[in-house]
Amino acid sequence: MIIGINAIDMKVRSEADVSGILSQLAAQRLEIELGDENATNHSSTSAWAIRNLVLNINVDDHFDQSPSAPKVYEPGITHICLQARDAPRLKAELETSDITFNADLTTLGNGTWYAYGNTASGFVVEVESAEYAPEDAPKAWLSHVALCTHDLENLSNFYAKLTGRPWFGGYRVKQNPANDLITGVANVDLKVCWVACGNIMLEFWQYLHPETQPRPATQSQKSAGLNALTFEVEDVRSALPHLVEAGVEFADNLIQEDKNRLWLEGTDPDGNALTFVSFDKSSDDPRSLRQRSDFGWMPRLGEIRANLQTLSFRPRFQW
């Protein structure tokens, strides 16, 4: 069983490109020795703990030689979403850290306000209002990570089977000028659905205009921007048969190991990079979800939202 999303990886030109995001999330750099899988002779990786997962920041000296971060309608891991009770403040403060937004906060008529910002490293960060959060909520938090695909049903079914949680949605959204403002794309026509994953949400998009194309088979190198997801399981060895049955594609079934953890690398049906990790229960490895300050924040917030009468869209997810 998937416990949750342990980490999101991103390749950036410099740490300054994400300093505003890290600051808003009150991220703390983990003083750990990262495994050999993170090391190259032209890059360095640091791990940053936030309340419900870890962000792995890879600063690459050869950044300009990497495939560009995908646009919101292109295949891949396209954006992360930061929510806040005070979304205007969050947007304004992110703008001071060289994040450029397509438009001001805009509503789709569902009681929530949205804005898409473009980081200097090319990936998108979404700001979303959450005035319903408790008054003692943090300044901002990471609520979901989004993947864009040419086949929404296939990819959402894969992640539902992988995580053991059902997908929700499948809605089509078109001919809404507000969506054009938010995304910065003209005449948007898309489908969307979600899978709750223990600690944050997985969000899936398929653009019908402009049409999302399949990921190029020749693109083996990780792109700039958001480029890998790590899922935590109880034990990688015992989880392997389920991962294979769910449809994870492995170049080999080589389980790697260091003193506190096991991990295994593969891809989803679209070619997005995935890692599956488990930690020795007797250890206090700071990368483990057991060490996060509030793993259950998003499920609690989702329950509050589901009971609100002031929002027209208030789904109840199976976390």
Distances in Å between the Cα of 64 and the Cα atoms of 37, 122, 273, 277, 302 are: 21, 11, 20, 30, 39
Residue 40 has what pLDDT? 55
Please give the chain's pLDDT, 319 residues, in tens. 899 999 999 999 999 999 999 999 999 999 886 654 545 556 799 999 999 999 999 999 888 888 889 999 999 999 999 999 999 999 999 999 999 999 999 999 888 999 999 999 999 999 999 999 999 999 999 999 999 999 999 999 999 999 999 999 999 999 899 999 999 999 999 999 999 999 999 999 999 999 999 988 766 557 899 999 999 999 999 999 999 999 999 988 789 999 899 999 999 999 999 999 999 988 899 999 999 999 999 999 999 999 988 777 788 899 9
Q: Name the token pair of 134.
A: 């408790």
Distances in Å between the Cα of 55 and the Cα atoms of 80, 156, 218, 249 are: 11, 23, 27, 24
> How far apart are alpha carbons 173 and 109 in whole angstroms?
12
Residue 112 has what pLDDT? 94
Residue 34 has what pLDDT? 61
Read off the pTM.
0.95
Is 210 exposed, middle or buried, given 0-12, 13-18 or 19+ CB atoms closer than 10 A?
middle
Residue 282 has what pLDDT? 86
Describe the crossing of helices 152-163 and 236-246 by its angle, rounded to 10 degrees. Answer: 150
Residue 259 has what pLDDT? 85
Q: Name the token pair of 33.
A: 């020795």
Residue 242 has what pLDDT? 97
136: three-class secondary structure by DSSP: coil
Domains, the chain: 1-308 (3.10.180.10)
Residue 118 has what pLDDT? 97
Q: Is the peptide bond before 210 cis (omega within 30 degrees of 0)?
A: yes
User: Which residue in 45, 287, 6 sits closest to 163, CA to CA?
Assistant: 6
Residue 36 has what pLDDT? 46
Residue 67 has what pLDDT? 85
